[in-house]
Structure 1
Amino acid sequence: MPYEWIAPDVGAPDAPLAELHLWPYRSLLRRDFVVFISATVALILVPLLVVIGSPVLWGLLPFFIIAVAGLWYGLHRSYKDGELLEVLRLWPDRITLHHHNPRRGDKSWEANPYWVRLKLDPTHDRVPNYITLKGADRVVELGAFLSEEERAALFDELDDALRRARGAQ
């Protein structure tokens, strides 16, 4: 699952009761990226072997370079977008959400967990099983990049964590 509950550091002062890290799913690892680009270059080069030594090669070569560069750029941008990270920390007296987006900057939210309302919207327009937290006069989304099933499982786990935090007050 592209989210993980971090065990609290019991010895640390002001350690949260629970900490949750969420990130987008990565289907292509960095080492597979090199293999994929190499295989693509090799497959494109095979037809070019026929025209080596002729002027046609120079006509086709720019298109080959543009195709590989476009693929490289697209995958690199996908990796950059995948650096998105949401960190939710839960204490008996407060809950914080830190949303790190490498292209849009960081956003933070803080509220009292007693007043926070967790909501799961199974028929949301944009994302099925849409999870929101409402508190401190603000509504924030959580894990919109997760799959529908992952958001449903996360909702149950987060609901349990919030109940424990409210009970610890």
Structure 2
Amino acid sequence: MASPASPEHAADRQVFAAEITPHRSLSDRGARILVLGFGALSAVVSLPFFLMGAWPVVGFFGLDVLLLWLALRSSFAQARACERIALTYVELTISRVTHRGERRDWRMNPLWTRIESETDDEFGMTRLAVRERRTAVDLAQALSPAERAQFADAFGAALAVAKAGPRAAAE
């Protein structure tokens, strides 16, 4: 019988795990305050037009508030998307969930996986992907180029550890 510290059990240990979600600087509460404030400002500004008899202007101000609300609602829906990366000594799992809840999973052998990246001198790392044979999966698309480069460094180090195996990590 194998002991809990044996290499067979170590192969199941996670070497790397990350969950990447799109950044949103505005909270739900902040969005409500913004829409209510914009609506109040629109009401105040459109009131003189209404009193002068130019009542259609009020509708356009209301349309602005509605469009702002729809844009923020769409932005918050997009924020529900996420990407999960889990790496063990025997498997790399990538799960991508869209904002609609559609899920796509990829499973790769870390020994056959390599990292590909594209870097622009002006913008930094524009693309990060992992490739196993003919399958390539883009990673960290929701990150900025600088964050993507940091993620690539951390993930690359973890992939090297996974390729070396649990025995090398224990030594």
TM-score of the two chains, using structure 1 as the length reference:
0.82
Tell whether the 8 Å contact from 1:98 to 1:107 is kept in structure 2 after alignment.
Answer: yes
Structure 1 segment 53-92 matched on structure 2, within 5 A: 54=51, 56=53, 58-92=55-89
Question: Which aligned runs of 4 or more in structure 1 are off by greater than 3 angstroms?
Answer: none
- Choose the corresponding residue for 2:142, options 145, 148, 153: 145
1:149 aligned partner, one-letter code: A
Question: Which one scores higher on RCO, CA 8 angstroms, separation ≥ 6?
Answer: 2
Q: In 2 relative to 1, CA 168–59 (structure 1 residues): closer, same or farther, beyond 3 Å?
A: same
Instruction: Tell me how large the CA RMSD over aligned residues is.
Output: 2.5
Tell whether the 8 Å contact from 2:93 to 2:106 is kept in structure 1 after alignment.
Answer: yes
Count how many residue pairs are aligned between Structure 1 and Structure 2.
156
Distance between the aligned counterparts of 2:135 and 2:53, measured in 1? 62
Distance between the aligned counterparts of 1:82 and 1:31, measured in 2? 15
Structure 1 unaligned segments of length 5 or more: list them.
1-13
- Choose the corresponding residue for 2:99, options 102, 113, 119: 102
Tell whether the 8 Å contact from 2:81 to 2:101 is kept in structure 1 after alignment.
Answer: no
Distance between the aligned counterparts of 1:167 and 1:56, measured in 2? 78
Sequence identity (%) = 25
1:155 aligns to 2:152 (yes or no): yes
Residue 92 of structure 1 and its aligned partner are, at CA, apart by: 0.7
- Choose the corresponding residue for 2:111, options 110, 114, 135: 114
Distance between the aligned counterparts of 1:15 and 1:93, measured in 2? 9
Equivalence for 2:40: 42
